[in-house]
Amino acid sequence: MTILEQSFPGSSDQEQGAYAKIKTLPRARQGTEQQGAYAQKKKLPRDPEALRLRVGCIGAMSDKEVQQFTKFLDEVGAVVLKPDREEDELETYQTLDRLLGKHVWHDMENDHGIVELNPEKPTSINVADTHHPHQPHTDDAYTEQPAVFMTLNCRVAAKNGGESVLVSGADFLDDLSAEDLETLKKPGMVTMGRRPAEPNAPWKFTSSIPMFWVDQESKRLCLRWRCKDKCVKEVAPEALELYERLNNIALDDSKQLVVPLQPTEVLVLDNRAHAHGRTPYPKGEPRVLWRKNYFGNGQLAQSIKTGMVDHEAVQKPAVPMVQEALLGACSLVQYRLPVLRRNSSEHFT
Ligand SMILES: [Fe+2]
């Protein structure tokens, strides 16, 4: 049963037991059935409610709640924690730090490693520019080592708009041929950067790492993305058409999942599987989110496969269903023929 087929909270004891078994095994040693599941691309649901996981208190999550949280990130790559109560706003980070590991440094972070996204004190041109959408992107795409997990903690929700928007990296992959993918796995195809919020500010950081790459430890195919906005510095001529195509997918309403966040809710996203952005909202309207990103080397490091899909699964050439059925029939004949011959000889001698 996948996470989208079951209703949360409260999966069955049998499911909990099965999952507890998987959790104890290192990723590389899990069985073939599980590997088959990981050959599926991580896909976001069509209904944002399917991402919500109700918990008592994020700062004191039970073992069962942590298992459910893990399963969401492992299978879907996204979850919205919806706490019944918040006793201390910083306690949330004791849990996130423990589970998700070392946080990604940011030059505008506070003493707790949190970056406040607030148009009153903007950290980037996109945070300042509220009446335009912040187009889909993966975080830290302007660095050499982007975050594994992105977390957004809603403190003040805008009254009109300002919702989070998610896009599945799988939708990009579905549109790419093997040749296209190889082009985008090269460094230097798209150079992205970050600019301070002041007008005409110079580039502060830039990176030209590949748009798609294979994590050497997990062998998972990972995504780096940024729609064509003021933070994209340069696109190589050989990637222009591909980048345009993917940009259109990311901006297609039918591919975007709009997720409204309420105060105290925390969105946790696999930053190497999906992109995120936000819808516009009126200038001057209060909206505050806390962002803290992680490298994924915490307690759940061995329990969550990050990235879009097993690289091996996208390397195989596509085999049409009829061809696959014929290959299956041929192998059955090859297997059965010696048996038939042996039985025949037994009957006639
Ligand atoms: Fe972001």
CA distance 126 to 227: 12
Model pLDDT, residue 36: 54
pLDDT band at 38 (very low <50, low <70, confident <90, very high): low
Please, which residues bridge with residue 256 across strands?
Answer: 167
Report pLDDT digits (tens) over 239-268.
Answer: 999 999 999 999 999 999 999 999 999 999
| Ligand 1 centroid – CA 133 distance (Å) | 12
List C-alpha distances in Å: 103 to 115, 291, 295.
11, 11, 6
State the pLDDT confidence band at 2, using cuts at 50, 70 and 90.
Answer: low
Q: Ligand 1 mean position to 347 CA, how many Å?
A: 73
What pLDDT score was predicted for residue 25? 34
First to last CA, the chain: 53
pLDDT for the residue 33: 46
The predicted structure's pLDDT at residue 124: 82
In angstroms, what CA-CA distances link 268 with 17, 35, 207, 317?
A: 24, 24, 24, 33
Ligand 1 centroid from CA 137, angstroms: 6
Q: Which residues are close to ligand 1, an ion, with C-beta < 5 A?
A: 139
Cα torsion angle, 23, 50, 78, 186, sign? positive
Q: Are strands 134-137 and 274-278 parallel, antiparallel or unpaired?
A: antiparallel
Ligand 1 midpoint to CA 178 (Å):
28
In this prediction, what percent of the chain has a pLDDT beyond 90? Answer: 68
Q: What is the pLDDT of residue 54?
A: 98
Cα(136) to centroid of ligand 1, in Å?
A: 8
Q: Which residues contact 238 (CB under 8 A, 6 or more apart)?
A: 183, 189
Query: pLDDT tens for residues 302-336?
Result: 999 999 999 988 875 544 445 555 545 544 444 44
- Average pLDDT of the residues in 222-246: 94
Predicted local confidence at residue 326, as pLDDT? 52
Distance CA(33)–CA(17), nearest Å, equals 16
Instruction: Give bridge partners of residue 156 from the DSSP assignment.
Output: 288
Tens digit of each residue's pLDDT (9 = 90 or more) over 58-104: 999 999 999 999 999 999 999 999 999 999 999 999 999 999 999 99
